[in-house]
Amino acid sequence: MSSCSNALVICGTDTDVGKTVVSALVVQGLGATYWKPVQSGLEGGGDSGRLQALLQLPATRLLPEAYRLQTPVSPHWAAELEGITIDPARLALPAVAGALVVETAGGLLVPLRRDWLQIDQLAAWGLPVLLVARSGLGTLNHTLLSVQALRQRSIPLLGLVLNGPLHPDNPATLAALAQAPVLAQLPPLEPLTAAGLAAQWQAQELGRTLKAAMGAGPTPHR
């Protein structure tokens, strides 16, 4: 069954930074089970639906959300609009065979309810985090703040994935200032296909680097 040694959480520095694309990349590469515990906004079937359409996963590798909220706004507000309060007890990690990839909603400090942030849930899980960030302008500030927030709560960070057009300086600057490895740089893929993701997984040797990072534990902070 899945344990902390073969489970990870994919988080973003912001909304719409490509968490689901990176989740699909990692789920396919590791042969993992996918879980998006909180989904706000169900257009297109939500992120689980989009990932399923892309990868054609068997039902056993696509877990149902704990909360499926209709409105595409912050989870705490989407829940309130439906008369729901998100209960962290319902977000307990599921037991699965093999690896588990958990995708969060929004950025690290998004509230799940008015007294419980996404990062509080990350601390409760205690799983290592793969942080997805934009590749271009603005990513330095957003990414460094996110790394700082994780480290202030002693949440292990596996490394960074930069999503978007390749940048000549940001990867090296982030690796140096965040003291965390840039494990992959994922360029825009048009069209986005499972085969294209598989090619990126192989070309960037993400299987090797990700497994090495998971085996080594959190990145040191000096």
- pLDDT tens, residue by residue, 65-78: 999 999 999 999 99
Distance CA 190, CA 179 (A): 32
Reading phi first (left if > 0) and then psi (alpha if -120 to 50, else beta), residue 191 is in beta
Which residues carry out catalysis? 36
Instruction: Place 158 in a pLDDT band, splitting at 50, 70 and 90.
Output: very high
Cβ atoms within 10 Å, residue 175? 16
Total-model pTM:
0.93
136-155 mean pLDDT: 97
Distance CA 208, CA 183 (A): 10
Tokens of 55: 């990868």
CATH topology of domain 4-216: Rossmann fold (3.40.50)
Per residue in 175-221, pLDDT tens?
999 999 999 999 999 999 999 999 999 999 999 988 888 776 555 44
For the chain, domain boundaries: 4-216
25-46 mean pLDDT: 94
- Higher local confidence (pLDDT), 95 or 212: 95
